[in-house]
């Protein structure tokens, strides 16, 4: 079975902190620059985080499902936050340690990186800390900054992308059940578009998110589209252009009223073109 780029419904249902993981996802999509700076200050002021991180990562079974899914999420968050990607030819534990090794980089802003590490810490603490006294202590330490800065959140999974979240997510759910031929038409329609025009549209969505006050909403929505594209194509990984096409259609919904009509129409084009009735030849 291919591993989709998510935490897995069954794993979350069985995990004692599965609901908290869903909360984390929502807060990441709605993270503000102010929250990121506050996370950074708290992470910087908390001593002894490094050994807690190392112990939890070392204790994860290398071949276990959780380690694999967390490594996949680390790749997703590296892309979301603009961090260098880990070396995927290395072990899962190496991938999980990757964001923390970036603290030695001279090319990344330390304040920004520490804010981002507050998100990785929360993800690690929620999922990997065992239900033991020592595990609960590790959980408390690694999630403290996130809980203080991001909770309670005024957003839920049903409103993570604003007032038009539901149409956007409904489209992605529909995409998961596309027939292979229809998914192929979505991909073909996307690759036929002018790359410069699509890039400009993507930039407009990103800028609209910043203007809205939620700079990571656009990219978070893209990563919602990735597992939908993998399910539609029944292939993991699949062509990024398919995820891009699904993201565009979902973003046109989620960012209703925040994009120019021309941009919204372009973003919908691959989806709408593929779903029009096609004559049987």
Sequential pLDDT tens for the chain (281 residues): 233 446 777 888 888 898 999 999 999 999 999 999 999 999 999 999 999 999 999 999 999 999 999 999 999 999 999 999 999 999 999 999 999 999 999 899 999 999 999 999 999 999 999 989 999 999 999 999 999 999 999 999 999 999 999 999 999 999 999 998 999 999 999 999 999 999 999 999 999 999 999 999 999 999 999 999 999 999 888 999 999 999 999 999 999 999 999 999 999 999 998 887 544 44
Q: Say if residue 113 is in the same domain as residue 234.
A: no
* CA–CA distance, 143 with 277 (Å, rounded to integer): 50
Examine the domain organization and report whether 170 and 129 are in the same domain.
Answer: no
Check whether residue 17 and residue 144 sit in a common domain: yes
Boundary residue ending a domain (97, 118, 150): 150
What pLDDT, on a 0 to 100 scale, did the predictor assign at position 6?
66
Asked if residue 157 is part of any domain, the answer here is no
Do 67 and 175 lie in a common domain? no
What is the DSSP secondary structure assignment for residue 85, as one 8-state letter? P
Residue 189 is encoded by which pair of tokens? 């329609």
Q: How many CA atoms lie within 13 A of 43 on its CB side?
A: 27
Query: Does some domain include residue 4?
Result: no
Q: What is the pTM of this model?
A: 0.92
Q: In the structure encoding, which two tokens stand for residue 138, read together?
A: 């590790």
Q: Are residues 210 and 77 in the same domain?
A: no
Helix (H) or strand (E) holding 19: helix 18-29
46 and 99 part of one domain = yes
Q: Which domain holds residue 20?
A: 9-150
- Of 98, 126, 150, which residue sits at a domain end? 150
What pLDDT, on the 0 to 100 scale, is given for residue 3? 39
Q: Which of 150, 181, 202 is the last residue of a domain?
A: 150
When divided into structural domains, the chain yields a total of: 2
pLDDT given for residue 170 in this prediction: 96
Q: Both 122 and 177 in a single domain?
A: no
In a domain, 280, yes or no: no
Residues 22 and 126 in one domain: yes
**Same structural domain for residues 22 and 138?**
yes
| Same domain flag for 50 and 87 | yes
- pLDDT at residue 274, as a whole number: 86
Q: Does some domain include residue 281?
A: no
In a domain, 160, yes or no: no
In a domain, 111, yes or no: yes
What are the structure tokens assigned to 31, written together? 């993270």
Contacts of 61 (CB under 8 A, 6+ apart): 67
Residue 66 lies in a domain: yes
170 and 144 together in one domain = no
Kindly provide the b/e burial profile for residues 237-254, where b requires at least 16 CB atoms within 10 angstroms of the residue's own CB.
Answer: ebbebbbbbbbbbbbbbb
Query: Is residue 2, in this structure, part of any structural domain at all?
Result: no
Eight-state DSSP code of residue 155: -
Residues 29 and 104 occupy one common structural domain: yes
């Amino acid at each position: 079975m291919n591993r989709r780029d998510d935490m897995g419904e069954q794993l979350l249902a069985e995990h004692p902190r599965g609901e908290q993981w869903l909360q984390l996802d929502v807060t990441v999509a709605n993270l503000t620059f102010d929250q990121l700076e506050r996370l950074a200050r708290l992470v910087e002021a908390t001593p002894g985080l490094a050994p807690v991180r190392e112990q939890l990562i070392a204790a994860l079974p290398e071949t276990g499902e959780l380690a694999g899914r967390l490594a996949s999420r680390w790749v997703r968050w590296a892309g979301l936050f603009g961090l260098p990607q880990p070396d995927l030819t290395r072990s899962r534990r190496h991938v999980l340690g990757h964001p923390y090794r970036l603290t030695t980089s001279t090319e990344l802003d330390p304040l920004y990186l520490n804010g981002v590490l507050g998100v990785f810490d929360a993800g690690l603490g929620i999922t990997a800390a065992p239900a033991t006294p020592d595990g609960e202590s590790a959980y408390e330490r690694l999630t403290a900054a996130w809980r203080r800065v991001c909770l309670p959140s005024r957003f839920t999974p049903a409103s993570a992308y604003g007032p038009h979240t539901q149409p956007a997510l409904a489209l992605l759910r529909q995409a998961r059940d596309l027939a292979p031929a229809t998914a192929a038409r979505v991909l073909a329609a996307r690759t036929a578009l002018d790359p410069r025009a699509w890039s400009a549209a993507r930039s407009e969505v990103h800028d609209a998110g910043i203007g809205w006050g939620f700079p990571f909403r656009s990219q978070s929505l893209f990563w919602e589209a990735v597992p939908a594209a993998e399910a539609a194509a029944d292939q993991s990984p699949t062509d990024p252009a398919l995820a891009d096409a699904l993201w565009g259609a979902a973003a046109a919904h989620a960012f209703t009223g925040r994009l120019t009509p021309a941009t919204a129409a372009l973003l919908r084009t691959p989806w709408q073109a593929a779903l029009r009735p096609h004559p049987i030849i």
